[in-house]
Amino acid sequence: MTWVHIEDVIRAILFLFESASPQKIYNVVAPDHIDQLQFLKIASNILKRKPLLPLPSFVMRLMMGEQSQLVLNGQYVKPQALQQEGFHFKYPDLNIALKQILTVN
């Protein structure tokens, strides 16, 4: 499952606008690759709630059709070109990113 903190998205866009490097295709995703179960556990822990029961795959297929494959199988995407340009993520770890977003101050 790919994810990225919104602040890192904005920072990456600004970084690339200011970059003098040749134009490429950049994957703006966090370097931390996890599966949906890990995501659910981390989010549940931060929110201090029991995790929701996962939906059976056939329900996802009925609801989403072909797009369900993105949810069920995910995509393994890396920010390799972006990092080679020198970009550093402020939130490379899901636990840190979700704590920043979900923690009520």
Tell me what pLDDT residue 95 has.
93
pLDDT of residue 53: 64
- What are the b/e assignments for 35-59, b being 16+ CB within 10 Å? eeeeebebbeebeeeeeeeeeeeee
Residues 16-30 pLDDT 10s: 999 877 778 899 999
pLDDT at 91: 96
Instruction: Answer with the residue of higher pLDDT: 103 or 42.
Output: 42
CA angle 20, 21, 22 (to 5 degrees): 125
Pick from 103, 93, 101, 90: which is nearest to 34 by CA? 93
Selected residue with higher pLDDT from 44 and 72: 44
| 3 state SS of 21 | coil
Please state the pTM of the whole predicted model: 0.76
Distance (Å, whole) CA 33 – CA 74: 10
Eight-class DSSP state of 73: H
